[in-house]
């Protein structure tokens, strides 16, 4: 009897569950139908919008083939594979095998760079988008050009012209002009400039100012589109959520490469350093990335401010342990071999990597392969930076009325590389209002940067020598 009752109850429970499941399925079906109806209406609306403002249709871009790179014999590795055989630090690494390896081909990184091989024969791949900015340093002839060529080549093998642009600044004009055939495909410049590869100091400063303008325009677009970064913006645009027009367009990543950074730093001072510092400080999410290379590794050049904005740093062989300590906090770089043997410091981890060899004829073949695809549009134009004369006049008036403590406070800030109102009040026994006025004057003079949120103001002058040059110029102007 008990068994019969139990079976009946069990059947009733199962029947109830089946009934409930059928009801829920019908409810979900109706909701799905309603949702599809809404999406269909939206899709129709989008189609009408796109027809009104059609997107520009461009020919398909063909990525360079691996055969354009020289084939080199490499011990312990095979094309398309990575084994565990340790790589000797001075072993030749093939760029062709790096770009055809599974780890690089299948990388989901937005801006993947295969820097070389570790001593364990693993490809070292860095995502420039996550790194934001990159600093390369080392003694002359130790492989900085190898690293720069590796970075550019990696990106050319992964990105289309619509996705990536380069700004190439080479004061010596000896290395980067090799990439001038890419002008109509991968280079960005101020429209009126004749040369796509920047070799003139003033032209470099003008371009950095224009990149700041580009950065500001992008942030305005993000605000209008209600997105936080370039990835979200392009996703909305490519999915027709944003209508293409004269302002809205797909935004490419812009990679700025500055060779011989120290030369510009010392010769142009604040005029060069201020727009560069603003760019690296504010451009983390809008797709503008800066790579600087230098052989001058001194505290006057590699300041704490520079290091804080370039969290990923590459150091090649140096003979002075102090230089290694300045850049990485370790003297390991004195023990490196020559020609591309390097230490890569990223996210608190230092890894030894051997860069690949890329010869001039390989670069020429790659750039010519791309140049022949001549129906892909024109060079990416940067808006020319325009000086606000009214604002400039206000700043000049403010400096004319500079406080008697102006020079002393400027020296204090530059010595400590920190701007602090409380420190001024404490050290110079003055009130808050006067301290605020002095800092405003220092901002107008270009000693400190503008206030951004709750962050401390940036010190725009790297050392006291550069400050004295600025103070002498200001004092001469006031005479």
pLDDT, tens digit, 9 for 90 and up, residues 299-330: 888 888 888 889 999 999 998 889 899 898 88
Give mean pLDDT, residues 387-391: 49
Residues 6+ apart with CB under 8 A from 349: none
Helices (H), 304-359: 304-309, 321-328
pLDDT at res. 459: 83
Establish if 443 belongs to a structural domain: yes
Query: Tens digit of pLDDT for each residue in 130-188?
Result: 999 999 999 888 889 999 999 999 999 999 998 999 999 998 888 899 999 999 899 99
Is residue 258 within 8 A of residue 273, CB to CB? The reply is no
Pick from 61-70, 148-157, 261-270 the range whose average pLDDT is largest.
148-157
Share of residues in the chain with pLDDT > 70 (%) = 80
Residues 25 and 143 in one domain: no
Establish if 61 belongs to a structural domain: no
Residues 215 and 185 in one domain: yes
Residue 270 has pLDDT above 80, yes or no: no
Residues 372 and 394 in one domain: no
Domain boundary among 355, 382, 409: 382
Residues 5 and 109 in one domain: no
What CATH number has the domain bearing residue 408? 1.10.10.10
pLDDT at res. 205: 92
User: Within the chain, how many helices (H) and strands (E) appear?
Assistant: 18, 11
Q: State the pLDDT confidence band at 28, using cuts at 50, 70 and 90.
A: low
What is the extent of the structural domain holding 213?
A: 66-382
- How many other C-beta atoms can be found within 10 angstroms of the C-beta atom of residue 281? 16
Residues 367 and 426 in one domain: no
Share of residues in the chain with pLDDT > 90 (%) = 36
Establish if 377 belongs to a structural domain: yes
pLDDT at res. 252: 93
Element (H, E) at 136: strand 134-137
Task: Please give the torsion angle defined by the CA atoms of residues 327, 328, 334 and 338, in that order, rounded to the nearest 10 degrees.
Answer: -80
Residues 349 and 467 in one domain: no
Is residue 307 within 8 A of residue 328, CB to CB? The reply is no
d(CA 305, CA 256): 19
If you search the block for the tokens 């109806």, which residue do you land on? Answer: 37
Residues 103 and 31 in one domain: no
d(CA 209, CA 216): 11
Establish if 57 belongs to a structural domain: no
Domain tally, the chain:
3
pLDDT at res. 267: 80
Say whether pTM exceeds 0.85.
Answer: no
Establish if 412 belongs to a structural domain: yes
Residue 413 has pLDDT above 80, yes or no: yes
What CATH number has the domain bearing residue 97? 3.40.50.300
Q: In whole numbers, what is the pLDDT of the chain averaged over residues?
A: 81
Domain boundary among 366, 382, 398: 382
Is residue 113 within 8 A of residue 124, CB to CB? The reply is no
Domain boundary among 382, 400, 416: 382
Residues 211 and 119 in one domain: yes
Residue 41 has pLDDT above 80, yes or no: no
Establish if 444 belongs to a structural domain: yes
Give mean pLDDT, residues 235-261: 82
Residues 104 and 193 in one domain: yes
Residues 93 and 235 in one domain: yes
pLDDT at res. 464: 80
Q: State the pLDDT confidence band at 397, using cuts at 50, 70 and 90.
A: very low
Residues 113 and 132 in one domain: yes
What angle (nearest 5°) sits at the alpha carbon of residue 57, between those of residues 52 and 62?
165
């Amino acid at each position: 009897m008990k068994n019969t009752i139990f079976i009946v109850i069990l059947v009733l429970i199962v029947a109830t569950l089946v009934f409930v499941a059928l009801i829920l399925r019908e409810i979900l079906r109706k909701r799905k139908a309603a949702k599809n109806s809404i999406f269909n209406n939206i899709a129709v609306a989008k189609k009408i919008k796109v027809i009104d403002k059609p997107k520009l249709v461009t020919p398909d871009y063909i990525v360079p083939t691996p055969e354009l790179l020289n084939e080199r014999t490499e011990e312990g590795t095979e094309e398309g594979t990575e084994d565990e055989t340790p790589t000797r630090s001075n072993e030749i690494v093939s760029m062709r095998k790096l770009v055809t390896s599974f780890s690089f081909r299948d990388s989901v990184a937005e801006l993947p760079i295969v820097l070389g091989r570790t001593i364990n024969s693993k490809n070292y791949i860095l995502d420039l988008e996550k790194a934001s900015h990159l600093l390369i340093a080392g003694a002359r002839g130790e492989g900085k050009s190898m690293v720069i060529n590796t970075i550019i080549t990696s990106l050319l093998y992964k990105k289309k012209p619509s996705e990536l642009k380069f700004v190439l600044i080479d004061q010596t004009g000896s290395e980067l002009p090799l990439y001038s055939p890419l002008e109509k495909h991968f280079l960005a410049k101020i429209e009126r400039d004749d040369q796509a590869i920047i070799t003139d100091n003033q032209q470099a400063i003008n371009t950095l100012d224009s990149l700041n303008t580009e950065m500001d325009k992008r942030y305005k677009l993000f605000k209008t589109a209600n997105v936080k970064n370039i990835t979200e913006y392009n996703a909305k645009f490519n999915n027709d959520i944003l209508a293409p027009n004269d302002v809205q367009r797909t935004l490419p990543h812009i990679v700025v490469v500055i060779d011989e950074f120290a030369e510009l730093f010392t010769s142009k001072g604040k005029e060069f350093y201020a727009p560069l510092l603003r760019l690296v400080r504010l451009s983390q999410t809008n797709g503008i990335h800066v790579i600087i290379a230098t052989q001058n590794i001194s505290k006057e050049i590699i300041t704490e401010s520079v290091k804080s904005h370039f969290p990923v740093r590459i150091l090649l062989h140096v003979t002075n342990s102090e230089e290694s300590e300045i850049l990485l906090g370790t003297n390991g770089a004195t023990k490196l071999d020559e020609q591309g043997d390097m230490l890569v410091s990223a996210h608190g981890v230092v890894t030894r990597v051997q860069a690949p060899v890329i010869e001039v004829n390989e670069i020429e073949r790659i750039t010519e392969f791309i140049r022949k695809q001549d129906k892909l549009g024109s060079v990416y134009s940067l808006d020319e930076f325009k000086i606000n004369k009214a604002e400039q006049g206000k700043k000049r008036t403010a400096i004319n009325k500079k406080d008697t403590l102006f020079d002393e406070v400027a020296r204090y800030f530059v010595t400590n590389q920190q701007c602090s109102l409380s420190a001024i009040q404490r050290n110079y026994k003055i009130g808050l209002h006067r301290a605020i006025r002095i800092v405003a004057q220092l901002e107008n003079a270009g000693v400190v940067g503008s206030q951004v949120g709750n962050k401390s103001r940036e010190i725009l002058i790297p050392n006291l020598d550069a400050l004295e040059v600025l103070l002498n110029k200001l004092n001469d102007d006031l005479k």
